[in-house]
Homo-oligomer: A and B are copies of this chain.
């Protein structure tokens, strides 16, 4: 998602002095411009989609990307922005990125689950990736065929395909409706204004951004420190599957703090972008990717468990879904291990 530039250990020369609200305004203007560009691209490619063109996945991703960055910056640097405007904008931006993310999430989840079914059937789909490597879904890979699956695995795959394709179709309709709604047009209008005129408070242009960025970083550090990282650092601790057969309908409250750290890590990264430009710390990137994988595996495991509750499925299908659920919960555990490794590697450098 973010560009993978290596970060210099010292702040960029031009940024040596205090960074003020002016930098925030510049960042917000750039992100707003990016949003409008992606929206235009999305509409253009959408117009030709009927003629067999590639669906505007990249445009939707770029829309989400800038919506998240604007929303995150409004949150982190709240005191520097007009309160009314900022309070009004944030839930609208969350709605936009959430609505646009859903279709892609269904698609990625299905792909992840079908690839896992293939891996579990002994078919070599993709080579393991690197050191802590587990097989991750490759977004551009062709959909695997079901030639060498057992009956249970094939039926489980067909069931998941049906359920997640339905969910994806619904998400697609919802997103289309949203993009055509007056609510969305109001957001787009607001962002068009933002692209030229950022509603800073009078004091903002001379206010140092660093204390607010530091506060975002501290929230991240505190939340990460509260995670069970010692356990996560011991491989095969069998924690993630502990509630795999719990009678509790929401059996994985243990995932929530990790999801929360994922969001805080993102806010920290965006604050760094405001202060230092688009230079991404590879360590933060690795930690963020581990938490993305954690979230994806957690949701895929839930989808497998959910599919197993479909009435009148064959025992072989249920068995395959049980294996698949456990496999994805182990992916959750593997992602926690990977996060712990990248997080403990070195202290967070002072932004």
A337 touches B236 (CB 8 A): yes
The interface residues of chain B lying within 8 Å CB-to-CB of A169 are none
Q: Which of A93-150 contact B (CB under 8 A)?
A: 117, 119-122, 128, 131-135, 148-150
Interface flag for A245 (CB, 8 Å): yes
A318–chain B nearest beta-carbon distance, Å: 4
Q: Return chain B residues, CB-CB under 8 Å to A337.
A: 235-236
Instruction: Give the residues in chain B near A153, CB-CB below 8 Å.
Output: 245
Which residue in B150, B245, B320 is a CB contact (below 8 Å) of A320?
Answer: B245
How big is the A interface, by class?
35 or more
Q: Which residues in B have their C-beta under 8 angstroms from that of A121?
A: 243, 245-247
Judge whether A326 is part of the interface by a CB distance below 8 angstroms: yes
A322 to chain B minimum Cβ distance, whole angstroms, is 2
Most chain B beta-carbon neighbours within 10 Å: one of A117, A122, A242 = A122
A242-B120, A317-B315, A322-B319 are known contacts. Are A234 and B330 too (CB-CB below 8 A)?
no
Verify if A296 is at the interface (C-beta below 8 Å from B).
no
- B238 & A119 in contact (Cβ 8 Å cutoff): yes
Contact, CB under 8 Å: B315 / A237? no
Q: How far is the CB of A135 from chain B (nearest CB, A)?
A: 6
Task: Give the distance in Å from the alpha carbon of A244 to the alpha carbon of B149 in the complex.
Answer: 11
Within 8 A of B (CB), among A30-84: none
B245 and A323 contact, CB distance less than 8 A: yes
Given contacts A149-B245, A318-B316, contact A235 B334 (CB under 8 A): yes
**Which listed residue (B119, B133, B319) contacts A318, Cβ 8 A?**
B319
Residue from B234, B242, B322 within 8 A of A322 (CB atoms): B322
> Which of A's residues lie within 8 Å of B, judged by CB?
117, 119-122, 128, 131-135, 148-150, 152-153, 231, 234-238, 241-248, 251, 308, 313-327, 330-331, 333-334, 337
